[in-house]
Amino acid sequence: MINVIGLGYIGLPTALMLASHGVKVIGTDYNNELVATLNTGKTTFKEEGLDELFQKAVNTGIKFTTEYQVADTYIVSVPTPYDKFSKKVDPCYVIAAVKDIMKVCPKGATVVIESTVSPGTIEKYVRPEIEAAGLVIGVDLNLVHAPERIIPGNMVFELLHNNRTIGADNKIIGEKIRELYSSFCQGEIIVTDIKTAEMTKVVENTFRAVNIAFANELAKICRHDNMDVYEIIKICNMHPRVNILQPGPGVGGHCISVDPWFLVGDYPSIAKVIDESMKTNDGMPDFVLNRIYEIMKEKDMIDVTRVGLYGLTYKENVDDMRESPTLQLLESQERHLATGLKVYDPFIKDDVVNNQYHDLNTFLEAVDFVVIMVKHDEIKENMDKLKAKIVLDCHNICKLPDVYHI
Ligand code: SAJ
């Protein structure tokens, strides 16, 4: 039996995937409300194919609870935030989960940590907890790190098809966990050691962060000297060895905007490119805010309440707002003691910010200037409604004439 600890964006789909492939699974989360929702038969976030997967898993007997279970394998998918000052990973949730597991687990159980951690975290923080409890690692309890790679927006497909990495202390346990993931994973599964697995995960997200930062920096250079960054990237990408990503209003989500900081925190005197890249990405919401003021000035517009931000989520077609560039921009606006920007996102039904709208048409009636912060399909399908507006398109998706870009 597998006990999946933490039923968030990664733990829930993983638990459902295992259960729907015939593995006996119980999902545990300390959040009563979340567990109650799952037990009423509803998923807790939107993701293509998740509801169908949920139904399948429920039919094959998955259970959800707030209690830790007696199981032979535990999969830990809890958040790993970073400390805003030191930039280092904060492993408190992982440690708490391992401590709770040790209260119930039988001798010889395996703990698989899926949460993203910086290289050495398991060595530095998790092993000592287990040893302090008087358990011998490799005898009483086995440790494995199996970082996930699925992308929000395409999670179910990627869970099935991505290659995976398993880090383990010894081959036998590594192979055992590889077999568990093979129950659903059609990709290649590599077994390595724990520290290598920790590093690969952080490096993958850092690679993307640095590449996005490069695109964002190009956008700034091009803005400074009035060049078309999109045309330039398009042409450069026709070179056989160049593949530049797209600039945008900032980098959000709980991975790419967080994980690279772990390396800066742990290796501050070495990780210079990464540090600068993260600062470049983090500066984008402010850059957009400046663009808004510049364009308002150009258009002799003085009423900021006639400006609307389209999109609140961290990227297109998901309902996840964590570290979203729009939220960062609104925060920055407040720091400048200016407020009044209107906001709308089709994926956010609750009121989460001031001046938030819940219907596209009403939102558009209330503003003259629209800033496309997120390229949801909805706005792509309704571009003609922006015809009479001033538009700042942060994603280069609007083909109307006289559109502004970052
Ligand atoms: N973004 C850009 N320009 C681009 C691509 C993305 O500005 O060209 C922005 C997005 O708008 C978004 C942010 O970057 O705000 C991150 O989005 P994303 O789609 O690049 O990635 P995530 O954070 O949704 O998922 C990433 C993925 N990692 C990699 O692609 C290396 C995913 O595979 C990981 O599983 C996930 O992080 C994770 O959980 O670690």
DSSP 296-329: HHHTT---GGGEEEE--SSSTT----TT-HHHHH
Of 208, 216, 329, 406, the one to substitute when testing ligand 1's pocket (max ligand atoms within 8 A of C-beta) is 208
Q: Is the CB of 253 under 6 A from ligand 1?
A: yes
Quick one: average pLDDT of 383-398? 98
> Is 70 exceeded by the pLDDT of residue 7?
yes
Residue 107 annotated as catalytic: no
> Is 80 exceeded by the pLDDT of residue 128?
yes
Cα 256 to ligand 1 centre (Å) = 6
Q: DSSP alpha helices (H): ranges in 225-271?
A: 229-236, 259-266
DSSP letter (8 states) at residue 44: S
Does the fold of domain 240-405 match that of domain 2-193? yes
- Give pLDDT, residue 83: 86
Give the predicted TM-score (pTM) of the model: 0.95
Quick one: average pLDDT of 301-307? 94
Could you tell me the fold of the domain covering 240-405?
Rossmann fold (3.40.50)
Contact 88, 262 (CB under 8 A): yes
- Give pLDDT, residue 79: 94
Contact 73, 112 (CB under 8 A): yes
CB atoms inside a 10 Å sphere around CB 280: 20
Q: What are phi and psi of 272, to 5 degrees?
A: -75, -45
Of 255, 263, 277, the one to substitute when testing ligand 1's pocket (max ligand atoms within 8 A of C-beta) is 255
* Residue having the nearest C-alpha atom to atom 32 of ligand 1: 151
| In the chain, where the domains are located | 2-193, 240-405
**CATH fourth-level superfamily of 2-193:** NAD(P)-binding Rossmann-like Domain (3.40.50.720)
- Of all residues in the chain, what percent carry a pLDDT higher than 70? 100
Q: Is the CB of 147 under 6 A from ligand 1?
A: no
- Give pLDDT, residue 338: 74
Residue 398 annotated as catalytic: no
> Is 90 exceeded by the pLDDT of residue 339?
no
Nearest ligand 1 atom to the CA of 149 is 35
Cα 321 to ligand 1 centre (Å) = 13
- Give pLDDT, residue 396: 98
> Is 70 exceeded by the pLDDT of residue 248?
yes
Rounded Cα gap, residues 79 and 6, in angstroms: 8
Nearest ligand 1 atom to the CA of 207 is 31
Lowest mean pLDDT of 5-19, 81-95, 320-334, name the range: 81-95
pLDDT band at residue 337 using 50, 70 and 90 as cut-offs: low
Q: State the chain's mean pLDDT as an integer.
A: 96
pLDDT tens by residue, 74-112: 999 999 998 888 888 999 999 999 999 999 999 999 999
Lowest mean pLDDT of 203-207, 308-312, 339-343, name the range: 339-343
